[in-house]
Amino acid sequence: MDEEEGMAECPVRVTVKLIGGKYKSVILWNLRLGTKRFSEIQALVPEATGKMITKQLRELEADGLISRRVYPVVPPRTEYSLTELGLSLMPVIEHMCSWGISYMDAHGMAVADCARGRQASGP
């Protein structure tokens, strides 16, 4: 992220800019369990197109939240994982999940399996 020298920035705005893409938080949430290949990420976010997932992954990588490792095999194999900076966001994402569960419970909404056992399986 670019920051003009001498200009103060709102920390909430910066955080939202980093994780506020349509699928960024969901990608980060799923990477908390470990390294994933592109096809695994795509399966975890079925409503997103491959092009959109690629865009979100590139932005997360550019911001230093995830790392991408390409294996020189045919066909190429690419894996994504959280960086230390990305791991440091997990408490924020966990709180988002908890708040979402409370909201959904209060509004009679069903909670997806991705939230079940979240504390036991997270870092």
pLDDT tens digits for 2-14?
A: 555 678 899 999 9
User: Contact 22/52 with Cβ under 8 angstroms?
Assistant: yes
pLDDT on residue 117 = 57
Are the C-beta atoms of residues 27 and 57 closer than 8 Å to each other?
yes
Q: Are 44 and 80 in contact (CB under 8 A)?
A: no
pLDDT (tens digit per residue) in 90-116: 999 999 999 999 999 999 999 887 765
- Confidence class for position 118, pLDDT limits 50, 70, 90: low
Task: Please write the tens of the pLDDT for every residue from 80-90.
Answer: 999 999 999 99
Q: Is residue 12 a contact partner of residue 46, using CB atoms and an 8 Å limit? A: no
The pLDDT of residue 121 is above 80: no
Give the pTM.
0.83
- Residue 120 pLDDT > 90, yes or no? no
- Give pLDDT tens digits for 13-72: 999 999 998 999 999 999 999 999 999 999 999 999 999 999 999 999 999 999 999 999
pLDDT at 119 over 50: no
What pLDDT, on a 0 to 100 scale, did the predictor assign at position 5? Answer: 66
In Å, how far are 8, 24, 42, 43, 78 from 38, measured between CA atoms? Answer: 36, 14, 6, 9, 7
What domains appear along the chain, each with residue ranges and CATH number? 11-121 (1.10.10.10)
Amino acid at site 48: A
